[in-house]
Chains A and B, each alone.
Chain A
C-alpha cells in the first residue's frame, strides 16, 4: 500500500516515535547513573561495572545502537523527502511552528550525532581498548571509569563544549516527547496539556542533570 520509499509517511512517523521513546528512556537511565558521580566514585564505578559486565545489558547495548541507527536513518529519509516536497521556497516565511524547536530537529539531531561519535570516542572506545591508553585503574587494579570521567571534566574547554552540546540536545528533547505521543495518536484535549508539560519538564530535567555533573566535577577540582 505504501507509495513512498521506506514505508508510508505515517509508518515512518510511528517508527521515529517508538525509537524516540526508547532513546528517551535510555537517557533517563544514563543521567541517573551519571548522577552517582555527584555522591562518590565507588557508587559510579559499581554502576559502570554492572553495566559493563552483565551479559543481558551487554546484549542490550546492541539493541540500543540499532535504536539510534533506525532513528537517525529515518530522520534523514523524512528530511530529504520533506525538502523535496517544496522545491521552491518562500521569499518571506514567518515562524509559524507551535513547537518552536521542531524547526531545527534535523540540525540539533545532526549535532547530537556528531557529539555521540565524540562521546563514544571519549568513553566507550577507550573502555573497549580501541583508542587511547585504556581506562585508569583503582588501587585494587579494577577499572576506574569515574577517574576517566573526572580526568576529562578537569579540562575547562571540554566542560564548555560538553555543556553546549547538552543544551543543544535539550532543544531536541523539548520537541521530542510530546511529538512522539502525537505521532502515536495519543492526543486528546483532556490530557494534552499534561503531555506538553511533561515533555518540557523531561527536557529540562535531563539537560540540567547532564550539565550539573561536569560543572560539579570541574569546580570541585579547580
Chain B
C-alpha cells in the first residue's frame, strides 16, 4: 500500500519544528506502524537525509516507549493498542496520516517524535514505591490478600507509563497514570502502610511538574492502550480526601 505522511520534524528541543510531507510506498499491510517508519527512515538515510527520530523498545506492547500521536489519537485510533502493535492494514491505501509527538508542557520534545517523559519518573520517585527492609524472601502467601483487591491492583499495575493519557487529555492531565500507580499500592497490604503520604506527595509532584487539572472528560480511559479504568482516579480522589482529613 502507498501512504502520504505528514510528520513533525524538530531538530532539537530549542529548534522550531514543522510538519514535513513524506510518501511511503509499497508498504506491506502486515507491517507495523513502526516498521513502516523504519522503511521510510532507510530511504531517508540512503538519500543522505536525517532519519525521523522516534521512541521504541520492546515492540511487543509492554514497555511503554512508543509514543506517536497518529491521526488525532495517541497510538492511533485502534482501541487498547500501542503504536508498535498497530498494523498498516488498519489504514486505507492512499490515506494521509498525520504523526505528531505527545504535546504537554511537562513532556518537552527532544527531537522529532521523541519527548522527554522523565516527569513520570519524578512522580514515581516522589512516592511510587514501598519502603521495606531487605532480607530473606518471604513466602508469597504469608499475607492474605482479598482476590478482588489483588485483581484490581494487577489491573492498575498494567499501566506501562507511556503517557497516552496525558497526550489524549485536553488538559494534559496525568491523573490516570498517577492514580494507577497510587492504586496498585493502596489496594495491597504492603502499600497501605505509606498510602497517605504517597498520595499526597505524588499529587503534589504531579502538580509541581505542570500537568493540567482533571476535568473528568474520560478521554484518558478511552485512549489508554492498557485500558486503565477511571475508577482508579476516583479511588485516588477518595484517598487524597482521606489523607488530607486525617
Is B237 in contact with chain A by the CB < 8 A criterion? yes
Per-residue CB contact flags for chain B residues 198-237 toward chain A (1 = under 8 Å, else 0) read 0011011111101111111111011100000011011111
Is A53 in contact with chain B by the CB < 8 A criterion? no
CB distance from B217 to the nearest CB of A (A): 4
B206 touches A9 (CB 8 A): yes
B216 touches A102 (CB 8 A): yes
Q: A7 to B8, alpha carbons, bound, how many Å?
A: 36
Is A220 in contact with chain B by the CB < 8 A criterion? no
Is B240 in contact with chain A by the CB < 8 A criterion? yes
Q: A13 to B207, alpha carbons, bound, how many Å?
A: 13
Which of A80-88, A130-138, A209-217 lies at the binding interface? Answer: A80-88
CB distance from A175 to the nearest CB of B (A): 7
B212 touches A82 (CB 8 A): yes
The DSSP consensus for interface residues of chain A is loop
A82 touches B237 (CB 8 A): no
A-B contact count (CB 8 A): 147
CB distance from A174 to the nearest CB of B (A): 12
A10 touches B218 (CB 8 A): no
Contacts of A81 in B (CB 8 A): 212-213
Is B112 in contact with chain A by the CB < 8 A criterion? no
Q: A183 to B72, alpha carbons, bound, how many Å?
A: 27
Contacts of B72 in A (CB 8 A): 90, 92-94, 96
Contacts of B73 in A (CB 8 A): 94, 96
- A82-B213, A84-B105, A84-B210 as given contacts; A98 in contact with B204, CB under 8 Å: no
Which of B35-43, B46-54, B129-137, B167-175 lies at the binding interface? Answer: B167-175
Contacts of B1 in A (CB 8 A): none
Contacts of B106 in A (CB 8 A): 85
User: Interface residue count for A (Cβ, 8 Å)?
Assistant: 44
Contacting residues of chain B (35-88) with chain A, CB-CB under 8 angstroms: 69, 71-73, 77
A86 touches B103 (CB 8 A): yes
- Chain A's closest residue to B216 (CB) is A179
Partner of B105, one of A86, A102, A189: A86
- Chain A's closest residue to B168 (CB) is A96
A185 touches B98 (CB 8 A): no
Partner of A182, one of B98, B173, B210, B233: B233
Q: A3 to B126, alpha carbons, bound, how many Å?
A: 13
Partner of B204, one of A3, A82, A189: A3
Binding site for A on B (CB under 8 A): 6, 8, 19, 69, 71-73, 77, 98, 100, 103-106, 168, 170-173, 175, 200-201, 203-208, 210-219, 221-223, 230-231, 233-241, 244
Binding site for B on A (CB under 8 A): 1-4, 8-14, 78, 81-82, 84-94, 96-99, 102-103, 105, 175, 178-179, 182-189, 192
10 nearest A-B pairs in the assembled complex, by CB-CB distance: A185-B238, A85-B212, A94-B72, A187-B234, A98-B218, A82-B171, A3-B208, A185-B237, A96-B219, A85-B172
